[in-house]
Amino acid sequence: SSGINAEYGGYPSNIHSDSLNLMAIQDGEWKSRTLKPFPRKRRRLNSEQIAELEMCYQSRPYLSTKERFLLSKALNLTETQVKIWFQNRRAKTKRVVAQATNTAPDAFGSV
């Protein structure tokens, strides 16, 4: 079996898969080549950007699309970076509140 499927117009049946496989013709036959994801380098925020993000978060933990766009342009970040920072900051707040609630003494002074 050559892996060719008439249902897909004569193309190999696995050409429509969601994997990172590429199909290419090599020596007259279809060959599968797996692509490795390109590693993204982590870009750290500088202290001024963090301070501005924290200030905005304190006044409003959720941003509208327009606010996110304007803040990203002002801080020279992508909208995705701003969105993810706010998501992470809300998760941190939730975690800190949960820890404080679990370790706070109860009404009788015991933990």
**pLDDT one digit per residue (tens) for the chain, 111 residues:** 455 555 545 555 554 444 456 666 666 666 666 777 777 788 899 999 999 999 999 999 999 999 999 999 999 999 999 999 999 999 999 999 999 988 756 556 555
Distance CA 62, CA 46 (A): 21
Q: Which residue has the tokens 């006044």?
A: 59
What per-residue confidence (pLDDT) applies to 106? 59
Q: What is the DSSP string of 30-92?
A: EEEEEPPPPPPPP-PPPHHHHHHHHHHHHH-SS--HHHHHHHHHHHT--HHHHHHHHHHHHHH
What per-residue confidence (pLDDT) applies to 69? 97
What per-residue confidence (pLDDT) applies to 70? 97
Q: Quick check: pTM over 0.85? A: no
Contacts with 34 (C-beta within 8 Å, 6 or more apart), sequence order: 19, 20, 21, 22
What per-residue confidence (pLDDT) applies to 76? 96
What per-residue confidence (pLDDT) applies to 15? 47
